[in-house]
Structure 1
Amino acid sequence: MRSRPSAEPREKSGPPTSAWFQDARWDLFPGRPDLSSFPRTAWASAMRRVLQSLPAGSFDYGDPAGPAVLREALARYLARSRGVLADPDRILVCGGYSHAISVLGHLFHEIAFEDPSLPEFRDGAAKGGAVAVDERGIRVSELDSPVPS
């Protein structure tokens, strides 16, 4: 049997938020948008319009690499704006920076982060098997040396 959640406030963990610093004039924590400027009314209106006409299959899990239509649009964008020819079947859409770092850590086992950087990104890469840093910086001894050609 599960116990009921406590009404006591828990100690905060993770990156600081502007709610933590109520008297702060600005929240300059990197990687965080201005949450107060989110267009809630426009977003809710657009969601209602889309949800009314969305086919039931759209609520399925879908392709783990991301929707094919999105990957195709990204491939076209990369070709047009960056001159990169990308096969949509080789594009992986991630759920954010932390997810991408974790996936890359699993794939390459060779991602390294400098310090200073955000600890949650270094930790995510390390959990994915990537080379991490310690208090002295990158542990170069853990990197594979390239084979001279």
Structure 2
Amino acid sequence: MMDKIIDSQTSDRTLGFDPETQSWIVVVNEEKYSVGDENDQATLAVLPFLETPIAEFEQVISIFLQENPMLTFPYATFVHAGFKHGSPHWTECSLHWLAGLKNLTTSDFSKELQTVIREKKRYSQKMRHLAMKLLHRT
């Protein structure tokens, strides 16, 4: 039985935790995707959650983690998913999450941030400036 944690605000997806397998799961139309799987479907399954403001998302997750102190949440997996998709929309969502997540090391995302900075035709000036700011954050 999966513990339901949060529903996506913009789609029919639910994020949960499966205590039996000790894994984070996204359910889409009754299909289950393990967060962090390296397949495209699992990557796509997490994207709509990036549209939730990170402070709101963190608040919900922190309640679950307080009740389950041995667990951690794979925020980096969600941020990487937005960058991996590469569209300006998902990249911007990942940038906002990365900016709001003080516990993530931005150096782990230096390749993605440099790509945003470099691709002037694809990404807005505002996005490129945020990427530059994040790249230099210590």
Q: What TM-score do the two structures reach when normalised by structure 2?
A: 0.25
Compare the two structures and name the one with the higher strand fraction: 2
Computing the radius of gyration from Cα coordinates, the structure with the larger value is: 1
Greater relative CO (CA pairs within 8 A, separation 6+): 2
Q: What TM-score do the two structures reach when normalised by structure 1?
A: 0.24
